[in-house]
Amino acid sequence: MTLPPALLKGDELFEHDASAQYDASRDLSKYLLMHYGSLEDLFNGGQHPLAPAHGYCQRLSDLLRSCAEQTGTTVARALDVGCSVGGVTHALSGWVRDEVVGVDVSQRSVEIAQTLTEHGGGTFCVIEQGPFHREVVIRVAEPGQRAAVSFEVGDANALRAPEEAFDAVVLSNVLDRVQQPAACLAQFSASADILRSGGLLMVACPWSWYPEYSVPSEWLGSAATATPSEEGLKALLRNDFELLAEADEPGLLRQNPREFDWFDSHVTVWRKR
Ligand SMILES: C[S@@+](CC[C@H](N)C(=O)[O-])C[C@H]1O[C@@H](n2cnc3c(N)ncnc32)[C@H](O)[C@@H]1O
């Protein structure tokens, strides 16, 4: 068996890294671990109080699958917007019929996702403490056991119309990272070019708004009208979509064995009218 390729090297984790956010080695290491790491990889073995937050990508994929099954929606092609290193893309490929496409603005995330897809996995390093790091080996399903998977660099606010519209679109933890979240969503309702009528839209977001990403007037919801982001999202989508499911899904980004960023994404699944 050939050795899996090195996706990230350990020394990179401790260098000053002036890369754009999401291209930095530390961030990519955290997303690789969150998307593909086992419980053992995440917590260095043993029981851990944060263990229920493991498996975020698979849980999103399972929820979308159950909505597709309940509504009798055939999902032949799916799009994962803001895919990072592709954990949701790969989870979807376990049940989507033909093809899953991941799009992200981060060139380095896309390159890593492409490399691990091509080689069936790879190795990367996670920070332990100060200068110590640990190597993690990850694997993804072979092409014969999943739908086709591809990744491309693209902007969530200016998505390329595919030759054939997608049957499902996932936006996981990206809407509060784009400059114009409402305009991003409008791409899926305004026409059937990207998401077909009857298709499914999944929006997962912890609603962590920062002016570095979008000006406050763009944030979904409004303090003036006491409207939380959850309701702001529903107001934007309810004319063009039927709400199928609503849930909270926790996830975990590991800084080191003693520090974790826990989030609880608000997840909704919608069927386009
Ligand atoms: C918080 S991460 C979420 C990654 C992954 N979807 C998940 O749920 O773990 C946000 C991702 O969105 C990407 N992103 C930010 N702005 C974007 C844009 N305008 N277009 C496409 N991707 C974008 C970032 O590069 C990053 O990979």
Sequence letter at residue 226:
A
Phi and psi angles of residue 118, each rounded to the nearest 5 degrees, phi first: -65, -40
- The pLDDT of residue 17 is 74
Determine the distance separating the centroid of ligand 1 and the alpha carbon of 103, expressed in angstroms.
9
Comparing C-alpha atoms, which of 98, 82, 81, 102 is closest to residue 90?
A: 102
**What is the 47 CA–ligand 1 centroid distance (Å)?**
30
At 135 the pLDDT is: 95
Q: Give yes or no for residue 202 CB within 6 A of ligand 1.
A: no
Chunked mean pLDDT (size 10), the chain, 273 residues = 82 77 91 97 88 97 98 98 98 98 97 98 92 94 97 97 97 98 97 97 98 95 94 98 98 95 98 98
- How does DSSP classify residue 227? B
State in Å: Cα 25 to ligand 1 middle. Answer: 15
pLDDT the model gives residue 58 = 98
Inter-residue contact 233 to 220 (CB < 8 Å): yes
CATH fold, domain 54-119+145-272, is: Rossmann fold (3.40.50)
> What is residue 1's predicted lDDT score, i.e. its pLDDT?
56
What predicted TM-score, i.e. pTM, was given to this entire model?
Answer: 0.96
Burial class, 182, CB count within 10 angstroms (exposed 0-12 / middle 13-18 / buried 19+)? middle
Task: Please state, in angstroms and rounded to a whole number, the distance separating the CA atoms of residues 172 and 205.
Answer: 6
